[in-house]
C-alpha cells in the first residue's frame, strides 16, 4: 500500500528538475555509497560536515546516510567512529562546534545498500521522513565512493527507485577512474547515461578543488590587462605542469596501478585539467559553468596529436619486484607500466603555436611538489649580471603545495607585474622564507596565498551542493581527454620505461630535452642495478652517465634489437661498398649471433653479399666440418643461404697438415697475411663481437696479459676452463676496425652487464673492456633481458 504511493511519487518525479540555479531551500539527503571506505574516512565526511556547518543556517535541513555492502550491525559502529572524528572549520567556536557535531551525528545513519530493495527502502525512508516532518525536498546527493565497475549498477538502482519527486534535484558524484582508454570511457558513459542525465552526474577531479587550481581562471581574468599582451607564443617560452611524488605504489594499490600507470593515473586527468585551464579561451563570464566547459573543450580540438616521440617514460627500480610480490606473478615477469612520464604537448593555434607544454609526473622522485609554471622569454641582456632583476626568470607559478614553499600560492616574478587578486580569500605574503622556488628566491616574487587553506574535497562538495558544474568533468570533456591520450597510450604499450633508482639518486637521469615537436631524455643513461636479485638498497644502484661504458648503446627487445643490428650492418656494408667497392665483415661464433644470422639470411635480401668478405673473429680448434666449429654454424645459419662468392669467405685455418692448431704450422700467421693483403690497413669495416659470462670476447680470455699478442693480428689462445685451444683476432686487429658491434642478449647476461657497467677498463679481468677501436666506433647492442634482468 505504502509502496504503491511511493511508486506514484517516483513516477511523478521522473521529469525531476535539475539545478544549476541557487539551491532552493528544503531538505537535502546525502548518501555516501562506500561510506566507510578510505576516501570517505579521510576526506568525504569531513567535507560533508563542513557543508553542514556552513549551510545549516542557510535554510536547508540535512540527513546523511553512509551506505555500503556490509550489514548495518557490522558497519554502523565503523561509520560512527569516522563521523566522530570530523573537525570544524577554523572560524567556528568550540562551543558551537560541539553542538554542530552532535547534530551531525544525530542526522546520520548507516544503511546497507546492496540490492534494489535496499535502495527502494532508502527512498521510502527519505519519503517518510519528509512527510512526517512536513519538509519540502531540495535534493538528493549520492556520492559513489566505490570501484568504477559498480557505477553502472548503482546508477540503475538510483534511477530505479531513488529519484526525488517534485522538482527536487538529483546529483550523483563519481570518482575516477572513468575508464582506461577512449573506448572503455565511452562504454561507461553510455551505461551511465541510460540511468542518469548528464547534468545529474558530477565527475570529480579533486585537482579542480585545489584552491590554486581553481584560482587559475579568476587570476587570468583579473590580471587580463597585464596578461593579454604576453599570454602568447611571442612571449611564452614554455608551460610546465608538474606533479612530483616521493612515494612508491606498494601497499595494496599495485593491482590498480599496474593496470593504469602514471599517464592514466595523473596526466590524463589532473594535469590535463590544469593544462586546459591555462590555455583555454577566457570565458566572458567565469561564473558561467556552461561557457567554461565549452571553452575547455575547445582546447582539445586544437591539440596536436601525441605520439611516442612526444613522451618518455620511466619506472622506479623496485616497482617490478613489488608487482611480483603483490600480484604474485612469476619470477621474471616484466611490467612495462610507467611510474614516471614526461609528455610534450602543443596547441595548434596562432596564440600558442610552437609553445611547448610539458606534463610531468612520477612516483619515487626527489621531492613532493605540484605546480604549473608559465615561463616567459627574456630578451634582456644584462652586462653586469649580478642580481639584476631584469635578467632573472620571468614566470608565473601556480604552486599547488608542498615542495620548498610548503603552502599553496600564486607567484608572479617581480620583473613581470604586481598581480591583482580580488576578494578577501587571498592574501599577500610579504615575509619570505629563505627558499628558492623554481630558480628564484621567494622574495623575488609577488606571493599570494589563500587566507584560509581549504581541503579540495570540501571545496568540491560545496560546489556540488551549489550545482557548480564547471569544477567537474563533463562527459564530453572526459571523452575528449581520452581522445587525446589513447593514441599515445597505445603507442607506448610495448615501450620500455627507463629504470630509475628513486629519490635523490635519480640525479639528472630523468631530465628531458625538447627538440621541436619531440621530447627525449637528456642523457643517454643506462642504469644497471647490481641488485636485481635480493639486496635492493638504493645506494648499491649504479647509474651510468652518458652511454654504456661511455660508448653508444642500442637497447630493445630481442627481436627489434636484432633487426636494428642487421639494418646497421647493412648500412655499413652499403657505405663501405659505395666508398671502396668492398665490405670486410668479421663475425663471431657462439649462440648469441645466430638470431642475427637468420635475420640477415631471411630478411635482408638486398644485402650486398657479392661485395662482402666474411672473416672469422675466432675459431675453435676443431675441424671446420664439425658442429662445434664456429665456421660450421655460421655456414649453416647464414652463408649457405646467401649468394656470396666462395672466395669471399675466409674461415680460419685451424687445421693444417692434418693437425689442429699447432704453433709450428703457422695458421695464425697465414690468416694474418690474408687479412693484411686483402683488408685495407687491416682495418675491418665491421666486427661483430659477443661477450661471454666471464667477460671474454672473441677468444680473448681473462687472465692473459692485454698486450700479450703485441702487434699480431691473429693468435692462438687458450681458454682457462676449456680443453680446446682457439684461434682469435687480437685486440690489435679488433681495435683497428671502423665499426665494432658488441651484441649482448638474454637474462643470463644481466649480472655481467651490471658488472661491466661499473668496472674500469680491466682487459686482463674483463677482456671485453679492452675493446676500444682507435679510429672507429663501438656500439653496444644489449637486449632488455640482459639490461634489466
Ligand atoms: C531511468 O528510469 C526510467 C524508468 O525506468 C527510464 O524511463 C529512464 O530512461 C531512465 N533513465 C533516465 C536518465 O532517466
Ligand atoms: C555570470 O554567470 C552567472 C551564472 O550563470 C550569472 O549569475 C551572472 O549574472 C553572470 N554575470 C554576468 C556579468 O553576466
Ligand atoms: C602465488 O602463486 C603460487 C603458484 O601459482 C601459489 O601456490 C600461491 O598460493 C600464490 N600465493 C598467493 C599469495 O596468492
Ligand atoms: C685505404 O685506406 C686509406 C685510409 O683510410 C684510404 O685513404 C685509401 O684510399 C684506402 N685504399 C683503398 C684502396 O681503398
Ligand atoms: C688511426 O689513424 C691514424 C691516422 O690515420 C693512424 O696513424 C693509426 O695507425 C690508426 N690506428 C689504428 C689502430 O688503426
Which pLDDT belongs to residue 293? 94
With a cut of 60, say whether residue 3 has pLDDT above it. Answer: no
Report how far ligand 5's centroid is from the alpha carbon of 667 (Å): 26
What is d(CA 397, CA 409) in angstroms, rounded to the nearest whole number? 8
221 lines ligand 2 (CB under 6 A): no
Rank 327-336, 427-436, 671-680 by mean pLDDT and report only the highest. Answer: 671-680
Report how far ligand 4's centroid is from the alpha carbon of 579 (Å): 9
The closest residue, in CA terms, to atom 1 on ligand 5 is 775
pLDDT (average), residues 21-29: 74
Q: Which residues are marked as active site? A: 270
| Local confidence band at 784 (pLDDT 50, 70, 90 cut-offs) | confident
Cβ(270)–Cβ(205) below 8 Å: yes
Average pLDDT, the chain: 89
Q: Which residue has the higher pLDDT, 523 or 294?
A: 294
Cβ(670)–Cβ(653) below 8 Å: yes
Residue-wise pLDDT for 428-466, tens only, equals 999 888 899 999 999 999 999 999 889 999 999 999 999
Percent of the chain whose pLDDT exceeds 70: 93
What the block records as the C-alpha cell of 172 is 550523483
196 lines ligand 1 (CB under 6 A): yes
pLDDT (average), residues 695-722: 86
Cβ(600)–Cβ(642) below 8 Å: yes
What is d(CA 685, CA 571) in angstroms, rounded to the nearest whole number? 11
Which pLDDT belongs to residue 537? 36
Cβ(528)–Cβ(755) below 8 Å: no
Report how far ligand 3's centroid is from the alpha carbon of 251 (Å): 18
Locus of grid cell 689442429: 660
Name residues whose C-beta falls within 8 Å of residue 78's C-beta, 6 or more positions apart in sequence.
Answer: 36
| Local confidence band at 785 (pLDDT 50, 70, 90 cut-offs) | confident
285 lines ligand 2 (CB under 6 A): yes
* CATH class of the domain whose range is 26-175: alpha beta
Q: Are 26-175 and 546-788 the same fold in CATH? A: yes
What the block records as the C-alpha cell of 419 is 598581480
287 lines ligand 4 (CB under 6 A): no
pLDDT (average), residues 27-38: 95
- Closest by CA to 276, choosing from 241, 231, 235, 311, is 241
What is d(CA 140, CA 137) in angstroms, rounded to the nearest whole number? 8
> What does the domain layout of the chain look like in residue ranges?
26-175, 209-506, 546-788
774 lines ligand 5 (CB under 6 A): yes
Residue-wise pLDDT for 606-654, tens only, equals 899 999 999 999 999 999 999 889 999 999 889 988 889 989 999 999 9
With a cut of 90, say whether residue 227 has pLDDT above it. Answer: yes
| Local confidence band at 525 (pLDDT 50, 70, 90 cut-offs) | low
What the block records as the C-alpha cell of 182 is 577512449
Report how far ligand 4's centroid is from the alpha carbon of 776 (Å): 14
Domain 546-788 CATH (choose: 3.10.20.520, 3.40.50.1360, 3.40.50.720, 3.40.630.30): 3.40.50.1360
Q: Which residue has the higher pLDDT, 126 or 523?
A: 126
Report how far ligand 2's centroid is from the alpha carbon of 91 (Å): 29
Locus of grid cell 615561463: 375
Cβ(175)–Cβ(42) below 8 Å: no
The closest residue, in CA terms, to atom 10 on ligand 4 is 680
Which pLDDT belongs to residue 287? 87
Which pLDDT belongs to residue 755? 84
Side-chain-side CA neighbours of 776 within 13 Å: the count stands at 23
Percent of the chain whose pLDDT exceeds 90: 67
Q: Which ligand is nearest to the CA of 579?
A: 4
Locus of grid cell 527519505: 126
| Local confidence band at 603 (pLDDT 50, 70, 90 cut-offs) | confident
Report how far ligand 3's centroid is from the alpha carbon of 328 (Å): 6
Which pLDDT belongs to residue 251? 79
| Local confidence band at 281 (pLDDT 50, 70, 90 cut-offs) | very high
| Three-state secondary structure string covering 774-787 | CCCEEEEEEEHHHH
SS3 at position 150: helix
| Local confidence band at 539 (pLDDT 50, 70, 90 cut-offs) | very low
Locus of grid cell 666449429: 629
Q: Which ligand is nearest to the CA of 330?
A: 3
What is d(CA 267, CA 260) in angstroms, rounded to the nearest whole number? 11
Cβ(368)–Cβ(249) below 8 Å: no
pLDDT (average), residues 92-113: 93
775 lines ligand 4 (CB under 6 A): no
Mutate to test the pocket of ligand 4, among 580, 613, 775 (most ligand atoms within 8 A of CB): 580
What is d(CA 357, CA 274) in angstroms, rounded to the nearest whole number? 11
**Residue 681 CA: which ligand 5 atom is closest?**
14
287 lines ligand 2 (CB under 6 A): yes
Q: Which ligand is nearest to the CA of 324?
A: 3
Q: Which ligand is nearest to the CA of 221?
A: 2
Q: Which class for 608: exposed (0-12), middle (13-18), buried (19 or more C-beta within 10 A)?
A: middle
pLDDT (average), residues 206-211: 94
What is d(CA 246, CA 6) in angstroms, rounded to the nearest whole number? 52
730 lines ligand 5 (CB under 6 A): no
Query: Per CATH, the architecture of 209-506 is what?
Result: 2-Layer Sandwich (3.30)
What is d(CA 202, CA 752) in angstroms, rounded to the nearest whole number? 54
625 lines ligand 2 (CB under 6 A): no
pLDDT (average), residues 86-97: 86
Amino acid at each position: 500500500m505504502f509502496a504503491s504511493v511511493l511508486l506514484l511519487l517516483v513516477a511523478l518525479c521522473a521529469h525531476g528538475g535539475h539545478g544549476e540555479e541557487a539551491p532552493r531551500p528544503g531538505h537535502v539527503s546525502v548518501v555516501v555509497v562506500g561510506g566507510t571506505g578510505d576516501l570517505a574516512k579521510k576526506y568525504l565526511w569531513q567535507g560533508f560536515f563542513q557543508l553542514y556547518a556552513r549551510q545549516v543556517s542557510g535554510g536547508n535541513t540535512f540527513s546523511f546516510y553512509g551506505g555500503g555492502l556490509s550489514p548495518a550491525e557490522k558497519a554502523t559502529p565503523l561509520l560512527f567512529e569516522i563521523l566522530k572524528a570530523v573537525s570544524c572549520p577554523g572560524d567556528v567556536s568550540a562551543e558551537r562546534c560541539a553542538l554542530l557535531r552532535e547534530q551531525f551525528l544525530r542526522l546520520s545513519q548507516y544503511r546497507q545498500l546492496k540490492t534494489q530493495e535496499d535502495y527502494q527502502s532508502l527512498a521510502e525512508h527519505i519519503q517518510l521522513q519528509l512527510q512526517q516532518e512536513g519538509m519540502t525536498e531540495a535534493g538528493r546527493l549520492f556520492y559513489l565512493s566505490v570501484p568504477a565497475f559498480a557505477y553502472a549498477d548503482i546508477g540503475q538502482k538510483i534511477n530505479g527507485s531513488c529519484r526525488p519527486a517534485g522538482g527536487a534535484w538529483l546529483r550523483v558524484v563519481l570518482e575516477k577512474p572513468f575508464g582506461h582508454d577512449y573506448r572503455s570511457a565511452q562504454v561507461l558513459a553510455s551505461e551511465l547515461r541510460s540511468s542518469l542525465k548528464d547534468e545529474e552526474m558530477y565527475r570529480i577531479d579533486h585537482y579542480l578543488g585545489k584552491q590554486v587550481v581553481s584560482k587559475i581562471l579568476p587570476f587570468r581574468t583579473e590580471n587580463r590587462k597585464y596578461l593579454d599582451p604576453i599570454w602568447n607564443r611571442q612571449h611564452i617560452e614554455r608551460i610546465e605542469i608538474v606533479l612530483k611524488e616521493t612515494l612508491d605504489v606498494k601497499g595494496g594499490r599495485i593491482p590498480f596501478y599496474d593496470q593504469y600507470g602514471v599517464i592514466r593515473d595523473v596526466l590524463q586527468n589532473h594535469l590535463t585539467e590544469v593544462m586546459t585551464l591555462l590555455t583555454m579561451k577566457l570565458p566572458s563570464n567565469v561564473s558561467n559553468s556552461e561557457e567554461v566547459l565549452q571553452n575547455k573543450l575547445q582546447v582539445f580540438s586544437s591539440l596536436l596529436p601525441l605520439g611516442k616521440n612526444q613522451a618518455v617514460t620511466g619506472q622506479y627500480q623496485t616497482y617490478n619486484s613489488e608487482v611480483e610480490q603483490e600480484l604474485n606473478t612469476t619470477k621474471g615477469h616484466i611490467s612495462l607500466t610507467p611510474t614516471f612520464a614526461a609528455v610534450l604537448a602543443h596547441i595548434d593555434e596562432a596564440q600558442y603555436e610552437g609553445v611547448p607544454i610539458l606534463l610531468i609526473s612520477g612516483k619515487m622522485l626527489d621531492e613532493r611538489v605540484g605546480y604549473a609554471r608559465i615561463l616567459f622569454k627574456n630578451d634582456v641582456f644584462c652586462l653586469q649580471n649580478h642580481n639584476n632583476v631584469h635578467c632573472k626568470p620571468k614566470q608565473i607559478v601556480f604552486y599547488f603545495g608542498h615542495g620548498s614553499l610548503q603552502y599553496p600560492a600564486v607567484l608572479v616574478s617581480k620583473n613581470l607585474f604586481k598581480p591583482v587578486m580580488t576578494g578577501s580569500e587571498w592574501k599577500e605574503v610579504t615575509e619570505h622564507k629563505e627558499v628558492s622556488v623554481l630558480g628564484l628566491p621567494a622574495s623575488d616574487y609577488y606571493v599570494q596565498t589563500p587566507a584560509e587553506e581549504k581541503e579540495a574535497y570540501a571545496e568540491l562538495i560545496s560546489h556540488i551542493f551549489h550545482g557548480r558544474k564547471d569544477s567537474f568533468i563533463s562527459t564530453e570533456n572526459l571523452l575528449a581527454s581520452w581522445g587525446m591520450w589513447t593514441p599515445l597510450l597505445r603507442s607506448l604499450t610495448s615501450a620500455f620505461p627507463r629504470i630509475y633508482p628513486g629519490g635523490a639518486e635519480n640525479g639528472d637521469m630523468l631530465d628531458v630535452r625538447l627538440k621541436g615537436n619531440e621530447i627525449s631524455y637528456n642523457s643517454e643513461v643506462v642504469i644497471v642495478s647490481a641488485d636485481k636479485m635480493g639486496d635492493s638498497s638504493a645506494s648499491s644502484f649504479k647509474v651510468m652517465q652518458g652511454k654504456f661504458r661511455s660508448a653508444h648503446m642500442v637497447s630493445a627487445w630481442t627481436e627489434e634489437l636484432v633487426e636494428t643490428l642487421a639494418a646497421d650492418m647493412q648500412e655499413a656494408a652499403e657505405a663501405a661498398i659505395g666508398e671502396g667497392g668492398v665490405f670486410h665483415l668479421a663475425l663471431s661464433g657462439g649462440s648469441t649471433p645466430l638470431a642475427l644470422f637468420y635475420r640477415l639470411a631471411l630478411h635482408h635480401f638486398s644485402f650486398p653479399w657479392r661485395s662482402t668478405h666474411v672473416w672469422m673473429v675466432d675459431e675453435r680448434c676443431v675441424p671446420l666440418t664439425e658442429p662445434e666449429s664456429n665456421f660450421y654454424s655460421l655456414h649453416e645459419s647464414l652463408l649457405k643461404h646467401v649468394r656470396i662468392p666462395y672466395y669471399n669467405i675466409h674461415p680460419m685455418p685451424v687445421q693444417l697438415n692434418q693437425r689442429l692448431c699447432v704453433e709450428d704450422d703457422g695458421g695464425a700467421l697465414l690468416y694474418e697475411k690474408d687479412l693484411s693483403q686483402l683488408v685495407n690497413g687491416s682495418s675491418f669495416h665491421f666486427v661483430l663481437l659477443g661477450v661471454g659470462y666471464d667477460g671474454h670476447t672473441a677468444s680473448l680470455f681473462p687472465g692473459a696479459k692485454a698486450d700479450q699478442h703485441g702487434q699480431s693480428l691473429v693468435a692462438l689462445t687458450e681458454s682457462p676452463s676449456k680443453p680446446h685451444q682457439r684461434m682469435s683476432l687480437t685486440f690489435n686487429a679488433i681495435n683497428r676496425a671502423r665499426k665494432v658491434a658488441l651484441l649482448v642478449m638474454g637474462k643470463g647476461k644481466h649480472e655481467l652487464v651490471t658488472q661491466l657497467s661499473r668496472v674500469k677498463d680491466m682487459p686482463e679481468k674483463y677482456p671485453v673492456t679492452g675493446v676500444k677501436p682507435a679510429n672507429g666506433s663501438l656500439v653496444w647492442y644489449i637486449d632488455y633481458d640482459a639490461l634489466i634482468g
